[in-house]
Every structure is written in structure tokens, then in C-alpha cells.
């Protein structure tokens, strides 16, 4: 990220940029920074956008070979093409010696670092990964974003917000906008404001549901399930999230048994450290064998629905009552 900021500041650009990783908000923000730096607003003759798989690579290469019209450069933005996982050989070959007046900005969720295209971008341009941000970074970002609107938030209230939103910065941004509007006439955003106005992610409901099951509070677990149904969440998606949570807890349990600390567990599992801390805390309430059995029961519940032995709503109800 620092490299991109430096390039923009100096006006010394690479011909190819690859922005990839799980954090969509940062990918989009840096793509927009590059767009503003490389392209003139409203210049549709020299600025081009492609999105999705089935990218017409030959057409893009022909366009890249065309000199810009009354401008210094032609800029091509390509989003979620999938070329960095497969099928990118032709693009890699072209980018090894592209037209010097054409610039490429690729934005991808996932890449294969072994691919020829990835290696070409690394050697000819700049590739940067936007990972899930850690708790401290997110707290600073929240405070900074609110300060722009003349608002303040305490560290504990920011943590409460993160417990509801998770680490997705797009999601956090939406909740911050709601909070700013809700607290229009006040400077300080309180925990009560967060509880009143912010939406709890479905995955957090699942976390609370597993906690309730661990505490043998089956009624509370079922109430949480019915809350999700009332929010129009499909039963099979809820089943998937329960299975995913149990699987994550099982992985956490096994890593903790090997003596890994929370930060190492976070890195291994690809989650933020404070999320790993929550997994460690919840996993400690179960035996590994119990969690393994829970994952198996989730698979059985899905099979029961697919074979018509149970309807989807009932299959999850039975799972909650018997899973742990």
C-alpha cells in the first residue's frame, strides 16, 4: 500500500498493478486512488473497465496496443477475471512487453502465486495483498473515520462495534454511516447507540447459538435460530454456518493442543487475532471428539434434507437439539 501511495505522490507509475486479497474495502479504495491518479475524470476514450470471468483477452490486448487519444496514457481496469488462477497465460505473455502507453490495474479476490500471470506482474509491475485487518488497525480506522464527521468513540465501544460487524471494512463502514446519522447532534458515540442501531451479523448469531448449546441452554439456542428465520435467513445457510463454526472450533482446538498461541492460530486459520481469541475461548468449552461429532451431524442433517427425509427447518431444529 505504501508503494502505491509513493507512486501516486511521485507520479511515477508501474505499468501493471495487482490488488488482491480478502479485504474488499481496501482493494476498492486503492483502485479508486489509482483511477484518479492515472485517468482524467470523464475520459471514456482512454479509460476502460472489464469485470467478471470470460474476459475477452484478445480484445483487451488489441485495445492495449491502441495509442491513447489526446492523452498520455490508456488505462485498463480488470476486476475478478479469475485469470490469476487459470487461463492467464496469454495475458502474461503480453504483459511481459506491453505497449508503454497502456497501464493495467487488476483487482482480484484470489490469486495463485504460482501462476505465470502473477509472476509476470510481480516482475513487471507491483502486486499487493489486502488482508483482513487486525483489531488495533480497525480501532484506529474507526476512530479516524468518525473524527472526519466530528464524532468520538471509546476503545470499549469500538470493540463492541467490531463484535457486531466482524472485520469486514465494508460492513463496518455501513454501520459507521448509520451511527453518524443516528448521533447527529452528539459528539460521543456510546455503547447504547451501537446496541440500538447496529446490525449483528448472522455469523455472530451462530456464535451465540453455539455458546448457548455449550451451556445446555437449548431454548435460547432455538430462539436464536427462530430469530434468524424471522430475518429470512434460509435454513440451509444457517446449517452451513453452524457446520463452518464447528469446523473452525475443531481446528482451533487441535492447534491449541499443539501449543500454538492465539496469533499463530489466527495466521494459520486466516482470521484476525481477536477473532482467533474468540474461537479459542469458545473451543475450550468442548472436547475435540464432541466437535468432530458435531461436524458429522451437520453433514447428516444436510443429507437428510437433500434426500427428502426431513424438511430444512426441522433438520436444523433437530441438529440444535442433538448436535452437542
HEC states along 216-244?
CCHHHHHHHHHHHHHCCCCHHHHHHHHHH
Q: What local confidence, expressed as pLDDT, does residue 115 receive?
A: 95
Q: Is residue 9 pLDDT above 60, yes or no?
A: yes
Residues 41 and 150: beta-carbon distance below 8 Å: no
The domain 2-129 is classified under which CATH number: 3.40.50.2300, 2.40.50.140, 3.40.50.300, 3.30.70.1400? Answer: 3.40.50.300
Return d(Cα 17, Cα 203) in angstroms, integer: 33
CB atoms within 10 A of CB 199: 13
Average pLDDT over residues 209-220: 86
Environment class of residue 209 by beta-carbon count within 10 Å: exposed (0-12), middle (13-18) or buried (19+)? Answer: buried
The pTM assigned to this predicted structure is 0.70
Per DSSP, helices labelled H in 39-168 are 57-64, 89-95, 116-124, 135-147, 155-165
Sorted by where each begins, the domain ranges of the chain are: 2-129, 135-197, 202-322
CB atoms within 10 A of CB 24: 15
User: Taking all residues of the chain, what is their mean pLDDT, rounded to a whole number?
Assistant: 91
Q: Are both 135-197 and 202-322 of the same fold?
A: no
CB within 8 A of 174, min separation 6: which ones? none
What H or E segment, with its residue span, contains residue 8? helix 2-10
CB atoms within 10 A of CB 117: 26
Q: Is residue 324 pLDDT above 70, yes or no?
A: no
Q: What local confidence, expressed as pLDDT, does residue 278 receive?
A: 85
Which tops the pLDDT comparison, 281 or 203?
Answer: 281
What angle (nearest 5°) sits at the alpha carbon of residue 312, between those of residues 305 and 309? Answer: 35
Q: Is residue 18 pLDDT above 90, yes or no?
A: yes
Q: What local confidence, expressed as pLDDT, does residue 62 receive?
A: 96
Query: What fold is seen in the domain 135-197?
Result: Helicase, Ruva Protein; domain 3 (1.10.8)
Q: Which CATH architecture has domain 202-322?
A: Up-down Bundle (1.20)
Q: Is residue 1 pLDDT above 90, yes or no?
A: no
Give which of 283, 288, 301 is closest to 214, Cα–Cα.
283
Amino acid at each position: 500500500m505504501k508503494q502505491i501511495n509513493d507512486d501516486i505522490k511521485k507520479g511515477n507509475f508501474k505499468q501493471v498493478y495487482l490488488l488482491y486479497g480478502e479485504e474488499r474495502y481496501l482493494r476498492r479504495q486503492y483502485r479508486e486512488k489509482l483511477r484518479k491518479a492515472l485517468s482524467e475524470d470523464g475520459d471514456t476514450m482512454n479509460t476502460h473497465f472489464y469485470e467478471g470471468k470470460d474476459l475477452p483477452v484478445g480484445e483487451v490486448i488489441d485495445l492495449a496496443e491502441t495509442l491513447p487519444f489526446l492523452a498520455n496514457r490508456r488505462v485498463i481496469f480488470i476486476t475478478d477475471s479469475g485469470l490469476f488462477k487459470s487461463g492467464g497465460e496469454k495475458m502474461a505473455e503480453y504483459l511481459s512487453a506491453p505497449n508503454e502507453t497502456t497501464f493495467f490495474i487488476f483487482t482480484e479476490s484470489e490469486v495463485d502465486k504460482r501462476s505465470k500471470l502473477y509472476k509476470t506482474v510481480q516482475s513487471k509491475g507491483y502486486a499487493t495483498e489486502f488482508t483482513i485487518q487486525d483489531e488495533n488497525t480497525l480501532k484506529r480506522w474507526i476512530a479516524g473515520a468518525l473524527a472526519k464527521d466530528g464524532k468520538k468513540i471509546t476503545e470499549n465501544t469500538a470493540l463492541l462495534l467490531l463484535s457486531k460487524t466482524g472485520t469486514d471494512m465494508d460492513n463496518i463502514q455501513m454501520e459507521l454511516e448509520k451511527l453518524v446519522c443516528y448521533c447527529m447532534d452528539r459528539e460521543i458515540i456510546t455503547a447504547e447507540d451501537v446496541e440500538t442501531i447496529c446490525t449483528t451479523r448472522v455469523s455472530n448469531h451462530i456464535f451465540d447459538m453455539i455458546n448457548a448449546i455449550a451451556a445446555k441452554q437449548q431454548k435460547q439456542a432455538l430462539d436464536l435460530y427462530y430469530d434468524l428465520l424471522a430475518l429470512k435467513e434460509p435454513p440451509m445457510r444457517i446449517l452451513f454456518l453452524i457446520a463452518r463454526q464447528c469446523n473452525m472450533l475443531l481446528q482451533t482446538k487441535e492447534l491449541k493442543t499443539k501449543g500454538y498461541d492465539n496469533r499463530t492460530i489466527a495466521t494459520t486459520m486466516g482470521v484476525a487475532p481477536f477473532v482467533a481469541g474468540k474461537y479459542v475461548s469458545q473451543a475450550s468449552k468442548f472436547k475435540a471428539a464432541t466437535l468432530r461429532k458435531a461436524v458429522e451431524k451437520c453433514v447428516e442433517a444436510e443429507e437428510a434434507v437433500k434426500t427428502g427425509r426431513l424438511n430444512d427447518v426441522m433438520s436444523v431444529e433437530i441438529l440444535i437439539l442433538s448436535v452437542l
